[in-house]
Amino acid sequence: MAEVQLSGVRKRFGLVEALRGIDLAIPDSAYVCLLGPSGCGKTTLLRCVAGLETVDAGQIRIGSQNVEALEPFARNVGLAFQNYALYPHLDVRGNLSFPLRAPRRRTEFGDGEIEQRVKSIATLLQIDALLDKPIVALSGGQKQRVALGRALVRNPTVLLLDEPVTHLDARLRHEMRVELKLLQRRVGTTTIHVTHDQLEAQALGDLIVVMRDGLIEQVGTPDELCTRPATSFVASFVGDPPMSLLTARLGQEAGVLSLRVGAAQLRPGERLGRLLDGLCDQDVEIAVPAHHIALGHAGDEQTIAARVQAHEWVGRELQIVVALNGSPVPVRLRTQQRLALRIGDEIAIRLNLGSAHAFDSKTGRRLQSSAD
Amino acid sequence: MEASRTDYFSLGEPKPDSMKLAVERRRATWLLIAPAFVVLLGLNLFPIVYALYISCHYWMLARPQPPRFAGLSNYQELFFDARFRNSVLVSLKFIVLAVGIEMLLGFGLAFVFNTRLRGMATLRKLTLLPSLVMPLVVGLVWFYMFNENFGIVNWFWVVLGGTRVPFLTQGALALLSIVATDVWQWTPFVMLVFFAALQALPEYVYEAARIDGLSGSQIFFRVTLPLLRPAILIVLIIRAVDALRSLELVFMMTKGGPAGDTEVLPWYLYTTGFMSPDLGYAAAMAVLMLALVTILSQLFVRQLESREVTR
């Protein structure tokens, strides 16, 4: 168990800069999720920590040790691969004991101790009945458990999970999610979990690291990401559904601030108004949570005309995706009304900007007042 | 029709109708595979049974008498035939040497070709050429190349300062020359199979092994080799059985000489059956050879099927 510290980590593959300077401190025993879209560098970062990739620049510390020059084995990390990466020619017991029997460790463990460790890890993961089965005879969920067991069996300082539940079916994914969390609580190993599924990240992570294009956008608790997104990207990526982004031009009408979105004029309200003060005639990005967008009547205040792009049932609610005039980014809202909508219908949506977030349209950074 | 009343969707007790349906279905199954079965029977089983039949007869083609039943006397004679024993021994020597060298060379070459160096793909295609040539032609070409007086191998040897070597006319050398020719022709095939197997090995297992702390040689012996086992066994079966049956090189290069030193089993069989021509005796030999091939391949197949679990 140890904390993990990354500073200035860079990695380039040919012309592609996968990591462009990562600074991250992971506290001891934390469960951290690296979250981001495909190609954001999250898996590369994990592989750099594991030692499967060497870093071009920067430092990686596990505990008090600089590990960026060490080979994977010497870093004492456990890695569960996305596709399990079990040894197909061995049975479950063989796979679990393999890390302990690696000849460089021969001196460390006797046969009796290996057997005992394999047994206890198998019991922990509820695969003790499968110990003598060949890998090919296992189901996806069972393989996942064996992969986890192999990663945990030698008490790694850091547990690395690369999309560990992605290949499981939905129900099993939910079960494994809960188990992963419980398991980590029990063993207390610092865990880094890579995922592109923000629900998974929110369910599991003590901390979530949102990544994009090889950079960290925000590090925060699941709650912080939703209530105080640091960038417009985080606002539009995290949440179910994520917030809707509007590009608005700030104007002044008879001394009162107004936001022009397409043809509509919106009043920013007191809180937002304070943030936007002094940005007159500039573009800003406004992120509005889905439950603050409702269906409205054309011509009302704070209402914008929109066109239905798609609609689908999500649980008991109807999710409607609409396009605004002149805005390329779709807006999502949910309603419990039972509506007969067709794609292309003209509707009006009413925005409540009371808890909206504002971002600089150029940098994407959050605008915040000193009191915020 | 009664069958038309069968209620396919009814639940509960199976009805007599459904029993009838099952019988009908089985009959249809047999009818459908019957043609293939008959063809298979005619092409595979008949020649074997006929060979067994001939092997129990005294049948000299050069004489006017019809075949005469001889019981197991052909086999009995084979048992005491020193020339037969010699040919089995020569065959085994040939198989062990040729296939052994082919496996080692092919395995090594596969690893070389598996590296991502520029030009490897072209080189790989070129190395495959020998296995595309007819074995008879290969035998002819190497017969000339190994010739003591005007062969190119000896020419190089002399240029390098040696004296002429009777490659094809001196005991052990003759067999080694044939082995070399077989190696030249079949190593590329072995290489190709191993190369394909290497390409199919999952990258991520190697990463797991690195994290688990294995060094390069340990990865080779504890991960690569076990994963290549099926490929190794399959190549072994194919090459061993093929080498046991192969006749062309001996036919073109030495005709079994000198003094039977290269008289492999197929060559002895061929001369007995078509030169003597003692069909009954040759058939008995063929049956024994078939038994040998079957035992050999069964040994390998059993190895292949046993899912060995290493710890």
Domains of chain A with CATH codes: 4-236 (3.40.50.300), 241-360 (2.40.50.140)
How many other C-beta atoms can be found within 10 angstroms of the C-beta atom of residue B196?
11
Rounded Cα–Cα distance for residues A201 and A219 (Å): 12
Contact A89 B226 (CB under 8 A): yes
Query: For B50-66, how does the pLDDT look when each residue is reduced to its tens digit (9 = 90+)?
Result: 989 988 888 888 777 78
Average pLDDT for residues A119-137, to the nearest whole number? 88
Q: Quick one: CA dihedral B201, B207, B211, B217, positive or negative?
A: positive
Which residue of chain B is at minimal alpha-carbon distance from A93? Answer: B311
Per-residue model confidence (pLDDT) at position B3: 45
> For residue A153, what are the contacts with CB-CB under 8 A and spacing of at least 6?
A78, A96, A97, A99, A100, A117, A118, A121
Contact B307 A150 (CB under 8 A): no
Q: Are B182 and B102 in contact (CB under 8 A)?
A: yes
Apex CA A139: angle with CA A138 and CA A143, to 5°? 70
Q: Which regions of chain B does DSSP assign to beta strands (E)? A: 57-58, 68-69
pLDDT band at A44 (very low <50, low <70, confident <90, very high): very high
Residue A106: C-alpha distances to residues A101, A114, A147, B149, B182 (Å): 6, 10, 21, 61, 44
Rounded Cα–Cα distance for residues A321 and A314 (Å): 12
Q: Are A250 and A286 in contact (CB under 8 A)?
A: no
What own/partner pairs with CB < 8 Å and gap ≥ 24 does B231-237 have? B231/B193, B231/B194, B231/B196, B231/B197, B232/B103, B232/B194, B233/B300, B233/B303, B233/B304, B234/B193, B234/B304, B235/B103, B235/B106, B235/B190, B235/B193, B235/B194, B236/B99, B236/B103, B236/B300, B237/B296, B237/B297, B237/B300, B237/B301, B237/B304
Angle between helices B279-305 and B225-245 (to 10 degrees): 180
Beta bridge partners of A207: A32
Q: Are A34 and A26 in contact (CB under 8 A)?
A: no
Q: What percent of chain A has pLDDT over 90?
A: 29
Rounded Cα–Cα distance for residues A258 and A280 (Å): 9
Beta bridge partners of A256: A253
Choose the weakest-confidence range: A34-38, A56-60, B122-126. Answer: B122-126
Query: For B179-192, how does the pLDDT look when each residue is reduced to its tens digit (9 = 90+)?
Result: 999 999 999 999 99
Contact A99 B213 (CB under 8 A): yes
- In chain A, what residues touch B310 (CB-CB under 8 Å)? 89-90, 94
Query: For A252-296, how does the pLDDT look when each residue is reduced to its tens digit (9 = 90+)?
Result: 877 778 888 877 888 888 888 888 877 778 888 899 988 899 888
- In chain B, what residues touch A150 (CB-CB under 8 Å)? 208, 212
Beta bridge partners of B49: none
Give the pair of three-digit tokens for residue A222: 């699941």
Q: Read off the pTM.
A: 0.77
Rounded Cα–Cα distance for residues B76 and B74 (Å): 5
Give all domains of chain B, ordered by start, each with its CATH number.
3-55 (no CATH), 73-305 (1.10.3720.10)
- In chain A, what residues touch B213 (CB-CB under 8 Å)? 72-73, 99, 102, 104-105
- For residue B99, pLDDT over 60 is answered with yes
pLDDT band at A106 (very low <50, low <70, confident <90, very high): low
Amino acid identity, position B10:
S
How many other C-beta atoms can be found within 10 angstroms of the C-beta atom of residue B96?
13
Nearest to A284 by CA among A245, A323, A331: A245
pLDDT band at A372 (very low <50, low <70, confident <90, very high): low
Nearest to A1 by CA among A98, A77, A99, A81: A77
Query: For A201-233, how does the pLDDT look when each residue is reduced to its tens digit (9 = 90+)?
Result: 998 999 999 999 999 999 999 999 988 999 999
Query: For B233-271, how does the pLDDT look when each residue is reduced to its tens digit (9 = 90+)?
Result: 889 988 998 898 888 888 888 888 788 888 888 899 898
Give chain B's mean pLDDT.
Answer: 85
- For residue B309, pLDDT over 70 is answered with no
Average pLDDT for residues A329-337, to the nearest whole number? 86
Q: How far is A206 from chain B (nearest CA, A)?
A: 26
Nearest to A102 by CA among A153, A157, A49: A153
Rounded Cα–Cα distance for residues A216 and A22 (Å): 7
Residue B133 phi/psi, 5° resolution? -85, 145
B19, burial (CB in 10 Å: exposed 0-12, middle 13-18, buried 19+): exposed
Beta bridge partners of B8: none
What H or E segment, with its residue span, contains residue A219?
strand A215-220
Residue in A79, A83, A102 nearest the CB of B213: A102
Give the pair of three-digit tokens for residue B243: 């080498």
Contact B223 A81 (CB under 8 A): no
A169, burial (CB in 10 Å: exposed 0-12, middle 13-18, buried 19+): exposed
Query: For A61-99, how does the pLDDT look when each residue is reduced to its tens digit (9 = 90+)?
Result: 998 889 988 888 888 899 998 888 898 888 999 999 888
Amino acid identity, position B237:
I
Q: How far is A102 from chain B (nearest CA, A)?
A: 6
Contact B213 A81 (CB under 8 A): no
Query: For A295-317, how does the pLDDT look when each residue is reduced to its tens digit (9 = 90+)?
Result: 888 878 888 888 898 888 888 88
- For residue A107, pLDDT over 80 is answered with no
Residue A361: C-alpha distances to residues A233, A259, A345, A367, B285 (Å): 11, 14, 30, 10, 90
Q: How far apart are the first and last CA of chain A?
A: 36
Average pLDDT for residues B5-33, to the nearest whole number? 73
Residue in B202, B212, B215 nearest the CB of A98: B212
